[in-house]
Amino acid sequence: EDKPFFCSFCPSEVNSVISPFSYMLLWVLVLLCGSTKGSILYRVQEEQPPNTLIGSLAADQGLPDSGHLYKLEVGAPYLRVDGKTGDIFTTEIPIDRETLKDCRSLAKGKPCYLEFEVSVTDLIQNQSPRLIEGRIEVQDINDNTPQFPSSVLTISVPENTMMGALFSIPLATDRDSDRNGVADYALTAGLDAATLFGLQVAEDRGEKLPQLIVLGNLDRELKDSYDLTIKAVDGGNPQRYSSALLRVVVTDANDNSPKFEKSTYEAEVSENSPVGHSVLQHPHRRVTFSTTNPVQDLQDASQHSYYDSGLEESETPSSKSSSGPRIGPLTLPEDHYERTTPDGSIGETEHPENGMVAFPSFLICPLNKSEP
């Protein structure tokens, strides 16, 4: 009487009762199922503690509990296998989805796999080892916090910016994927900035894009910078977040004209003074400053204007080295005693290159030293 044989290590569709007369056919089937590449798929969350059971090859493959030797060929150092039972465990090296070689550059939404290979030797029948190949899908957990590129983010905004203008804020990044990645941004502003700035979060192909929106009129001469707080929040549960200082620097625009302290300057000069003799020493500086501290403005040589006296070439900034107010000399020409604006008036005009120019009157009074 024919006794049945059972191919316990072949796929289920091959499992059937086979007579001894089909012995050759049985071994053909054994060869067909000798390699099970991709036939096993386990799932495990990343960062599991050591000795966490991932799966049992003996049970999952329908192999006997004894009489087989299991050896891990591919999968170290993240995996280990029990040589007798075929159970696969985690090791002291945690499986970190974000650092696995095959998962570092995955596109969003793509699963991360850790491949393994285990050789199985039938000790009873003394057969050659066969190879079982499989994959472990490493599932993401919320183990990373969103991070900005710097603890202080700086954005430059011109003071003449129109309300409603948008400025991109540097993005926060999160090594976690999809739902555990960056989900939203929030902006916190003080009383002085709350009415001037707001936050708009756009979205491009699933990525959140924070933008600073200008809500009010800026004046650099009143305040040249504002400190806000930007926060990035992920979509995990519980949520993780981080913050950065968002510094808005208001840059200068040419919205002020230079002014003299007086509309008219008077000086006396002897009639026999030589050509080139200094007549008037005039301190001057710009109206638009780099700081809100007038004392600092006076001491900052780079912020002083140089005027053209109209009588001789004015000094250039590079020709001065003192830290105090610049002194521009009016010198005596051969045939001029009085100098006013080109049209005879006192006032200010716009430079052809959009610079601003001021014109005072300079009245030179000759002193007659002739004896009666």
The span from the CA of 308 to the CA of 339, in Å, is 12
8 Å CB contact between 241 and 149: no
Question: What is residue 109's predicted lDDT score, i.e. its pLDDT?
Answer: 78
Specify the pairing of strand 130-139 against strand 225-234: unpaired
Q: What is the pLDDT along the chain (372 residues), one digit of tens a residue?
A: 444 434 434 444 444 444 544 434 433 333 344 444 447 999 999 999 999 999 999 888 888 778 889 999 999 999 999 999 999 999 999 999 999 988 988 887 789 999 999 999 998 888 889 999 999 999 999 999 999 999 999 999 999 999 999 999 999 999 998 889 999 999 999 999 999 999 999 999 889 999 999 999 999 989 999 999 999 999 999 999 999 999 999 998 876 667 777 777 777 777 777 877 777 765 544 333 333 444 444 444 444 444 444 444 444 444 443 334 444 555 545 444 444 444 444 444 444 455 555 556 556 666 665 555
The span from the CA of 284 to the CA of 287, in Å, is 10
Question: What is residue 126's predicted lDDT score, i.e. its pLDDT?
Answer: 80
The span from the CA of 6 to the CA of 14, in Å, is 10
Do the domains at 34-139 and 152-251 have one common CATH topology? yes
DSSP state of 302: G
CATH H superfamily, domain 34-139: Cadherins (2.60.40.60)
Cα–Cα distances in Å, from 8 out to 22, 72, 269, 283? 16, 21, 121, 102
Question: What is residue 172's predicted lDDT score, i.e. its pLDDT?
Answer: 97
What 3-state DSSP class applies to 26?
A: helix
8 Å CB contact between 153 and 247: yes
Q: How many CB atoms lie within 10 A of CB 104?
A: 11
The span from the CA of 157 to the CA of 149, in Å, is 20
Question: What CATH architecture applies to the domain 152-251?
Answer: Sandwich (2.60)
Specify the pairing of strand 361-367 against strand 264-270: parallel
Question: What is residue 154's predicted lDDT score, i.e. its pLDDT?
Answer: 97
| Element (DSSP H or E) covering residue 28 | helix 23-32
Question: What is residue 217's predicted lDDT score, i.e. its pLDDT?
Answer: 94
Question: What is residue 283's predicted lDDT score, i.e. its pLDDT?
Answer: 58
Q: Which residues pair with 44 in a beta bridge?
A: 138
Question: What is residue 18's predicted lDDT score, i.e. its pLDDT?
Answer: 46
Residue ranges per domain, the chain?
34-139, 152-251, 264-367
